[in-house]
């Protein structure tokens, strides 16, 4: 079956530190890959996505590259801010049965301190 | 606000009671998804509609769960004879048909607590 594995949190960083959150996946086909973010008290928001191998998704200073050879989609940011504190979910979707249901990882909580 | 709307935001119910949640998707989206999220976990897929047709249901969706999307607009998720294990956040998402990598827009969820 399809699955997503994320590094466990919480991850605690100082402001302006470099961030990496690891994500690997298992899929029966060629999935699209996503990072969603959930800020405290808010719903899930799409952060970035990549639809094919070697694509790089980017948004708000975050980046992730679709690596088919390592089945990975690691999230990176060069300099985190306190406002980046949230839970980050890696997810995949496959075009099956006409739908694009998402399979999520367990989430990684990020805490950024001054 | 033209985002996905879910009601109620919170629901506390006694074990054995029935509950119904509503989701209003983004108006031009023909796809609607229900997910369930428990504490410390990622959302898990429950069911999917394209317009009014329910095209896929997860094994997680027991006989006590039923979802509808009459007229292909809003959707309801009903849980009959609730159990404590049903306590979770129920998320609705909508999206439009795409070639892949379709972005799903999520509502803020309905948090169910069964006591």
Q: Do A103 and B107 touch (CB under 8 A)?
A: no
- Average pLDDT (A75-92) is 97
Instruction: Name chain A contacts of B100, Cβ cutoff 8 Å.
Output: 32, 51, 93, 95, 100
What share of chain B has pLDDT > 90, as a percent? Answer: 77
Q: Name the band, by pLDDT with cuts 50, 70 and 90, for residue A96.
A: low
Is the CB of residue B69 less than 8 Å from the CB of residue B75?
yes
Restricting to B residues 72-111, those with a Cβ less than 8 Å away from any Cβ of A are: 91, 93, 95, 98, 100-109
Instruction: Name chain B contacts of A97, Cβ cutoff 8 Å.
Output: 48, 55-56
Three-state SS for B91? strand
Q: Do B56 and A99 touch (CB under 8 A)?
A: yes
Pick A60 or B1 by higher pLDDT.
A60
pLDDT of residue A9: 85
Is the CB of residue B10 less than 8 Å from the CB of residue B109?
no
- Chain B, nearest residue to A5 by Cα: B42
- Long-range contact set of residues B86-90: C-beta below 8 Å, sequence gap at least 24: B86/B112, B86/B114, B87/B38, B87/B112, B87/B113, B87/B114, B88/B36, B88/B37, B88/B38, B88/B112, B89/B36, B89/B37, B89/B38, B90/B6, B90/B21, B90/B34, B90/B35, B90/B36, B90/B37, B90/B46
Q: Do A46 and B50 touch (CB under 8 A)?
A: no
pLDDT of residue A112: 97
Beta bridge partners of A104: A91
Inform me whether the pLDDT recorded for B2 exceeds 90. no
CA distance A76 to chain B (A): 20
pLDDT of residue B103: 77
Pick B3 or A98 by higher pLDDT.
B3
C-alpha closest to that of B93 among B113, B77, B114, B112: B77
Inform me whether the pLDDT recorded for B96 exceeds 90. no
Q: Name the band, by pLDDT with cuts 50, 70 and 90, for residue B107.
A: very high
C-alpha closest to that of B22 among B75, B61, B69: B75
pLDDT of residue B64: 96
Inform me whether the pLDDT recorded for A109 exceeds 60. yes
DSSP state of B80: S
Is the CB of residue B70 less than 8 Å from the CB of residue B82?
no
DSSP-derived secondary structure for A53-67? TT-EEEETTEEEE-B
- The C-alpha torsion from A42 through B7 and B98 to A33, rounded to 10°, is 40
Q: Name the band, by pLDDT with cuts 50, 70 and 90, for residue A12.
A: very high
Pick A78 or A41 by higher pLDDT.
A78
Separation CA A81–CA A105 (nearest Å): 23
Q: Each residue of B38-83: pLDDT tens digit?
A: 988 999 999 999 999 999 999 888 899 999 999 889 999 999 999 9
Average pLDDT score over chain B: 92
Q: Do B45 and A106 touch (CB under 8 A)?
A: no
Q: Name the band, by pLDDT with cuts 50, 70 and 90, for residue B21.
A: very high
The count of CB pairs under 8 A between chains A and B is 72
Separation CA B18–CA A1 (nearest Å): 32
- Chain B, nearest residue to A42 by Cα: B108
pLDDT of residue B101: 53
Length of chain B: 115
């Amino acid at each position: 079956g399809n699955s997503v594995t994320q590094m466990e949190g919480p991850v605690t960083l100082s402001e302006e530190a470099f961030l990496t959150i690891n994500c690997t996946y298992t899929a029966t086909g060629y999935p699209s890959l996503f990072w969603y973010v959930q800020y405290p008290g808010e719903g899930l928001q799409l952060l970035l996505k990549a639809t094919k191998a070697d694509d790089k998704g980017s948004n708000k200073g975050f980046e992730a590259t679709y690596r088919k050879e390592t089945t990975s989609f690691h999230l990176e940011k060069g300099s985190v801010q306190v406002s980046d504190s949230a839970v980050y979910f890696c997810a995949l979707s496959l075009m099956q049965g006409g739908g694009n249901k998402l399979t999520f990882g367990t989430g990684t909580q990020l805490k950024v301190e001054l | 606000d033209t985002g996905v709307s879910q009601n109620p935001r919170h629901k506390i119910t006694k074990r054995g009671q029935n509950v119904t949640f509503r989701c209003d998707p983004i108006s031009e989206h023909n796809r609607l998804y229900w997910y369930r999220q428990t504490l410390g976990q990622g959302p898990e897929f429950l069911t999917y509609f394209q317009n009014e047709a329910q095209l896929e249901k997860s094994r997680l969706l027991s006989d006590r769960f039923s979802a509808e999307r009459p007229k292909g607009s809003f959707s309801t998720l009903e849980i009959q004879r609730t159990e404590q294990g049903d306590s979770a956040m129920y998320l609705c998402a909508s999206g439009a048909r795409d070639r892949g990598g379709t972005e799903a827009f999520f509502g803020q969820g309905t948090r169910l607590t069964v006591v």
